[in-house]
Amino acid sequence: MEISTDVDFEIETRIKNELTECLAKINDGRKLITYELKRKYLLEKELYKICSHTFTRDPSAMSDDLYKWQCTKCNLYQGGH
Ligand SMILES: [Zn+2]
């Protein structure tokens, strides 16, 4: 049974508006994450260049892991950048 009243319409409108706002925030969040990931990459790349690394084997690394050696100073992995 479908009853259409002014109250139903108001509720529906409120939910739709809230949903639009929610989706916009998700979109903003995704943009922010993409931006911060690029920034992180560039900062790590810059840090990797200037650090006088001291690499030690990462004990949690598996034999087939690409990056096994981690710097104790900058925490970056050898060959990661
Ligand atoms: Zn380092």
> Would you kindly state where each structural domain of the chain is located, as residue ranges?
2-50, 52-81
What separation in Å is there between the alpha carbon of 19 and the centre of ligand 1? 45
What separation in Å is there between the alpha carbon of 64 and the centre of ligand 1? 22
What separation in Å is there between the alpha carbon of 16 and the centre of ligand 1? 50
Is residue 13 predicted with pLDDT exceeding 70? Answer: yes
What separation in Å is there between the alpha carbon of 72 and the centre of ligand 1? 6
What separation in Å is there between the alpha carbon of 5 and the centre of ligand 1? 66
Convert the pLDDT of each residue in 53-65 to its tens digit: 999 998 888 888 8
**Burial track 13-38 (b if 16+ CB lie within 10 A, e otherwise):** eeeeeeeeeeeeeeeeeeeeeeeeee
What separation in Å is there between the alpha carbon of 78 and the centre of ligand 1? 8
17-21, 46-50, 51-55, 65-69: range with lowest mean pLDDT: 65-69
DSSP, residue by residue, 14-70: HHHHHHHHHHHHHHHHHHHHHHHHHHHHHHHHHHHHH----EEE-TT--TT-S--EE
